[in-house]
């Protein structure tokens, strides 16, 4: 089974790397990294923080573009172009198809992020060399941990893309649903805690129905903000390893459950 999943993953990965949009995304990320070198000097003291902010923003935004444009395209192609019949006639199950595609997407993103990370490290090192006195709080370890969590966030988003591709018939709907999930997931935490703090001071009392809806949404959509370590990396703050472990486990568990659900639904799906 693992062999078949891996074989499909490799095919998906090769197809993804051949996608021309990848060059566009690389160019965009490289532009932001170049901009970083130009802009860093505008600030007064915290140049290290600004550099890390821009680098992580470039990596994570490039990742979002990869997921929304390349991953969705890779998932939807088989169904849109009816090649799914050909693929499913091969000797592997629909469940294996889902897992194979997912691992393939992870490989594409891993490849792209690894290339971008090399450029990013070069950018940080050169700004560091230009302004050595303004990198007091910077730590490579925290930076790499933050990059790993950026990758984990994209892995989660890929699982969401695979799930919606399994239940919808067009890539556009998958795109809209995945984007909506991302926006809700990244802003949910702020809204929940804001309402809680307001309820505590009795300034704005949210209705019970709204509170309950938010509670339900927080179970359905992953809390992407938990994977955001950009501020910690920017200031080289001490990391709480237990917190990171819990977050990592939370993400992996969400991915596994969502993909199992996706394979269940995909097994019952009929193609015409």
Partner 1 sequence: MAGQRSKWLWLLIVLLLPVYAQLHTGSWAQRAELRQSQSVGFLVPSQFSRVLACGYKGLLADYQFLRILTFFGDRSLNQQPPTAEDWDYFRDSIDVITDLDPWFYDPYVLTEGLLTWDAGRIEEANALLAKGVRYRTNDWRLPYYIGFNNFFFLKDHAAGAEYIMKAARLPGSPSYLPTLAARLAYYGGKSQTAVLFLKQMLAENSDERLARRLQLRLLALERAAQIEDALQCFRHDQQRDVVKLSELVSSGYLESLPEDPYGGRWGILKNGRVFSTSKFVEKKKTDVE
Size of the site for partner 1 (CB under 8 A): 30
Contact between residue 158 and residue 63 where contact means Cβ atoms under 8 Å apart: no
Sole window of 13-21, 48-56, 159-167, 261-269 interacting with partner 1 (rule: CB under 8 A): 48-56
What is the nearest approach in angstroms of partner 1 to the Cβ of residue 224?
Answer: 7
Of positions 5, 25, 54, 166, contacts partner 1 by CB under 8 A: 54
Q: Does 94 bind partner 1 (CB under 8 A)?
A: no
Q: Tell me which residues in 185-204 interact with partner 1 (CB under 8 A).
A: 186-187, 190-191, 194
Distant-in-sequence, close-in-space partners of 50: CB < 8 Å, separation ≥ 6: 36, 39, 40, 43, 234
> CB 158 → partner 1: shortest distance, Å?
17
Rule CB under 8 A: choose which of 2, 18, 23, 44 binds partner 1: 44
Least Å distance, CB 269 to partner 1, is 32
Q: Among residues 231, 246, 253, 260, which is the contact residue for partner 1, using CB under 8 A?
A: 231
| Positions in 118-177 near partner 1 (CB under 8 A) | 134
Rounded to the nearest whole angstrom, what is the least distance from the CB of residue 206 to partner 1 in the complex? 13
Name the site residues for partner 1 (rule: CB under 8 A). 39, 42-46, 49-50, 52-54, 56-57, 60-61, 134, 183, 186-187, 190-191, 194, 224-225, 228, 230-231, 234-235, 237
């Amino acid at each position: 089974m693992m062999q078949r999943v891996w074989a499909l993953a490799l095919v998906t990965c090769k197809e993804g790397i051949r996608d021309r949009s990848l060059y566009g995304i690389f160019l965009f990320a490289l532009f932001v990294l170049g901009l970083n070198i130009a802009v860093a000097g505008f600030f007064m003291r915290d140049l290290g923080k600004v550099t890390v902010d821009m680098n992580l923003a470039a990596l994570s935004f490039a990742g979002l573009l990869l997921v929304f444009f390349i991953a969705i395209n890779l998932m939807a192609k088989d169904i849109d172009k009816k090649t799914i019949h050909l693929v499913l006639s091969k000797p592997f199950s629909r469940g294996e198809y889902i897992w194979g595609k997912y691992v393939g997407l992870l490989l594409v993103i891993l490849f792209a992020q690894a290339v971008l990370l090399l450029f990013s490290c070069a950018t940080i090192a050169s700004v560091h060399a230009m302004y050595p006195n303004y990198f007091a709080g910077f730590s490579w370890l925290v930076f790499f941990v933050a990059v790993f969590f950026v990758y984990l966030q994209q892995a989660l988003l890929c699982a969401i893309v695979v799930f919606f591709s399994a239940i919808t018939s067009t890539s556009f709907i998958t795109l809209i649903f995945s984007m909506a999930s991302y926006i809700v997931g990244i802003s949910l935490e702020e809204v929940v805690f804001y309402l809680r703090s307001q309820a505590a001071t009795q300034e704005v009392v949210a209705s019970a129905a709204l509170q309950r809806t938010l509670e339900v949404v927080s179970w359905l959509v992953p809390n992407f903000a938990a994977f955001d370590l950009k501020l910690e990396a920017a200031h080289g703050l001490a990391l709480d390893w237990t917190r990171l472990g819990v977050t990592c486990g939370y993400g992996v568990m969400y991915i596994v459950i969502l993909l199992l659900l996706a394979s269940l639904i995909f097994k019952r799906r009929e193609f015409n």
